[in-house]
Amino acid sequence: MSERAQQLLEIADDELLLGWRNSEWTGIAPFLEEDVAFSSIAQNEIGHARALYELAGRDLGKTADELAFDRAPEEYRSAALVEPRFVPDWARTIARHYLYETADQIRIEALKASDDAEVAGLAAKIDREEVYHRMHAEMWLERLVGEPRVREALVELWPKALGVLGDDLRPLLRERLAALDLPEVEPVERGKHSGELAELWEKMTVVRRSVPGATW
């Protein structure tokens, strides 16, 4: 697999799984207006995953759906941050949302500067939607940061958040989140999957696997 395809798949898998997890809030978010808003974010993330899979798929000879659904769980390149199920815990959900969006911004900025015009172009498009996700995450964190359970969630998820980025970009994440005064920790590296990914994968693919080769 080319380095470019590898890199696109990593980001696509992150967006896919986080979108899938965030979509679990659709219908049961803390209040109705937020339900609508958070669902849009989940949909955008899955939309980003699709666009990234399409680009990777051109190198790999696969469709976006094949890449999203038809790999074995251990083949996903996702970060540990995006895998766990947090419903009905809004504190962890917001902590993850904020940490992920901050890390993702750093990653997208790097991609926008890429020499590969296709990658840079797609990154710029994605970033225009991510601006709103960041505003949303910041708005929520600002309101809830004084809640002990949100603070605990930030500390708990911090090693996994560092794992979203490669070694080279981690100092930037530490720098941007300096105000949160998070502890010095070892990052949880990408690709070490928890049981929660396998469980999510079972659900995600259950209809698709029920009639192999069918069109849905």
Catalog residues that contact another protein under the rule CB under 8 A.
Answer: 20, 23-24, 26-37, 39-40, 42-43, 46-47, 49-50, 53, 64-65, 68-69, 88-90, 135-136, 139, 143-144, 147, 149, 200, 203-208, 210-211, 214-216
Closest distance of CB 14 from another protein, Å: 15
Q: Which residues are within 8 A (CB) of 97 and not within 5 positions of it... i.e. 6 or more apart?
A: 22, 41, 133, 136, 137, 140
Closest distance of CB 52 from another protein, Å: 11
Closest distance of CB 175 from another protein, Å: 25
Residue with Cβ nearer another protein (174 or 209) = 209
Tokens in use for 195?
A: 């049981």
Closest distance of CB 43 from another protein, Å: 5
Residue with Cβ nearer another protein (57 or 187) = 57
Give start and end residues of each alpha helix (H) in 85-166.
Answer: 90-112, 117-144, 148-162
Q: Is 165 exposed, middle or buried (0-12, 13-18, 19+ CB in 10 A)?
A: buried
Closest distance of CB 176 from another protein, Å: 21
The number of CA neighbours under 13 Å toward the Cβ of 56 is: 24
Residue with Cβ nearer another protein (8 or 173) = 8
Residue with Cβ nearer another protein (16 or 162) = 16
Whole-angstrom CA distances from 17 to 20, 71, 77, 96, 176 are 5, 13, 11, 13, 24
